[in-house]
Amino acid sequence: MSKYQMNDVSLSRLQIIVLAAGFSSRLGRPKALARVHGVSLLRSTLELAATLKCAKIIAVVARRSAQHSAQARGIDVTFVTNSRRNQGLSSSVRRGIAEARYAPAVLLLPVDLARLKRRELARLIRRWRAAPRSVIARRIGRIGAAPLVLPRRLYPRALRITGDVGLRELLAQLPAASRVLVDMPSAASDIDTPQDLNAARSSFRRR
C-alpha cells in the first residue's frame, strides 16, 4: 500500500467539508473562484480533498452555479448552499455539519489555503485515527484552527457556534486533553486580500 492509500475503515467514513461560502469582501471577488496559476481556489481544494480518499466531499457555497459545478468536473462532490452566510464562517460550519451529521468525524477545510500541502493534511488525519474522540487542529498558539478534524461527539456544540470566531471559541473551551495540535506551516498563509492573492500567485508551485 502506498503512502497515498489511507483506506482503512475509519478513514473511509471520514467526510470533508470545504468551506467556500464567504463574502470575500476584502478580496473584492468570490474567493472560491479566484485563480492561482490558472486554477480556481475551489478546484485546487477539491483536487486536494479528492486525493485523501475519504467517504464524501461536501462543498458549502454561497449559491450553486454553473461556475461552481465546472470546478468540480471529474470529482464526486456534494454542493450545499449556505443561505445564512451573513452570519459569518460559523454558518458554513453549521451547514456542512448538518449535511454530514452521520459521519464519525469531519475534516473542515477552508477554500483559501492556496499553499496547503497534502502531506500536512495526511498528518492531521493520521493523528485523528490515533485519537478519534479528540479534535485534531492546526496549531495556532495554544488553541488551534482549521483545517481541523471534528469528531461527531462535538457536532451538537458546533451547531451552536456563531460569528466568524465561533469555531475557535469552541476549541478554546475544550479541555486541553481533548485537543491535539499539529504544525501545518503550509496553512499559515490564507487569501483574504488582493495582496494575498498576488503573493500566492508569485510563489506558487504546482502540486
CATH superfamily of 9-203: Spore Coat Polysaccharide Biosynthesis Protein SpsA; Chain A (3.90.550.10)
In whole numbers, what is the pLDDT of the chain averaged over residues?
Answer: 88
Contacts of 122 (CB under 8 A, 6+ apart): 3, 6, 52
Long-range contacts of 99-102 (CB under 8 A, 24+ apart): 99/17, 99/58, 100/15, 100/17, 100/56, 100/58, 101/155
Q: What is the pLDDT of residues 149-178, one digit of tens each?
A: 999 999 999 999 998 888 889 999 999 999
Q: What is the pLDDT of residues 33-79, one digit of tens each?
A: 999 988 999 999 999 999 999 999 999 998 877 889 899 999 999 99
pTM of the model: 0.89
